[in-house]
Chains A and B, each alone.
Chain A
Amino acid sequence: MNPKEKYIRELFVTAGYVFPTTPTEIEQFKSSNDTESISPPDWNDPLKILERGTQKFTGNISTNITDADIQNLAMAARQGKSIPNDVRQKMIEDKKNAKK
């Protein structure tokens, strides 16, 4: 990469638009994001991954949210209420089901 491309790439990585794929970018990502409190799904039994084998994604990827969804969530956020996970999940599921 030339210097201009490197500079632009740093901007993109910092903004979160590009995956951090160099050690420096990883360090920057870790310093900007709390990676320690995350709970990976197989933390308690990583060998389950080996038992499971390669997974194929078979669902319909929910790739966007309607303006109405955004408005609903934004309204609740402005009222200072946090969106319960089950409510948020239901809104996303409703969106998925609406597409079927």
Chain B
Amino acid sequence: MQKRDNLQFYLHLSLIIVNLLMMDIEQLQDILLSFAYKENDTKKAHEAFVIVYRTFSKTVFSVAKKKLKDLRIYDEEFMNTVVNNTFLKIYENPNLEFTVNANSSVISSFEAYLVTILKNEIYNVLRKEEIRVPLVLKADLPDGLFNDAQIETKNSESENTKLLNEVLNTMSERDRGILLALYNYHEEGKKTPSDVLDVLAATYGTSRVNIRKIKQRGEEKIKEFFSKQSQLKPLK
């Protein structure tokens, strides 16, 4: 009896999910409200959670898997932990003021929001563990080394990425590490967290002032390098 009940529950939700692929902001706000009032109506909150997970988890999981692979973290337990906590966070602390970016879909906007939470989860654990993750540029690894059937890039490495690797390889490990870390920690409208700057300064034996200069120098280098390339492919 319970198996049939579970099946009906998930079938019912599957129909809702199909409709939610065209999700509008009101539907998403209803979901977030049901999380906020989960103590009043747990069943509704649970239904909403299943919808959120089934709608967004593939993208979140894909980003986690790819990013952790790029960071040379090959730990499934770690990946499952951060994705688990990402979804739990929105259930326990729903952002009722969530708004959709102009000219963007509700789905993409919320996925972007979830990936920001995921990113913070990953970096919080790495900072607690005081792990300085080596930044491995794609050019450093043999081709097809980790041929992951689940995450396959649809396009081969673009010309811009090749050029980017070329210019990044001309930088010292310190400058490259600082530049990429600053861009990874960037959030629109917010300054880089102080503790991130402190960790970078301590890790690379430099100062916050110098970190700013390193960033500017790195950006100029990339800009100049690309402007000299005759086959510059403008990004869409």
Q: Residues on A close to B: CB < 8 A?
A: 1, 4-5, 7-12, 14-43, 46-47, 49-50, 52-57, 59, 61-65, 70, 73-74, 77, 82-83, 88, 92
Q: When A and B form their complex, which 5 residue pairs have the shortest distance between CB atoms, in order from nearest?
A: A23-B104, A23-B108, A46-B53, A40-B57, A35-B62
Query: B59 near A41 (CB under 8 angstroms)?
Result: no
Q: Residues on B close to A: CB < 8 A?
A: 46, 49-50, 53-54, 57-63, 65-67, 70-75, 77-78, 80-85, 87-88, 91, 101, 104-105, 108-109, 111-112, 115-116, 118-119, 125-126, 129, 131, 133-135, 138, 141-142, 144-147, 150-155, 158, 160-161, 164-165, 180, 183-184, 186-188, 219, 222-223, 235-236
Q: Is the interface of B mostly helix, strand, loop or mixed?
A: helix
Residues of B within 8 A of A50 (CB): 46, 49, 88, 91
Docked Cα-Cα span, A79 to B145, in Å, equals 12
Residues of B within 8 A of A12 (CB): 164, 180, 183
**Which of A26, A29, A49, A82 is in CB contact (< 8 Å) with B53?**
A49
Residues of A within 8 A of B187 (CB): 21
A26 to chain B, nearest CB (A): 5
Chain B residue, CB-CB nearest to A6:
B235
**Which of A5, A7, A38 is in CB contact (< 8 Å) with B58?**
A38
Docked Cα-Cα span, A23 to B164, in Å, equals 23
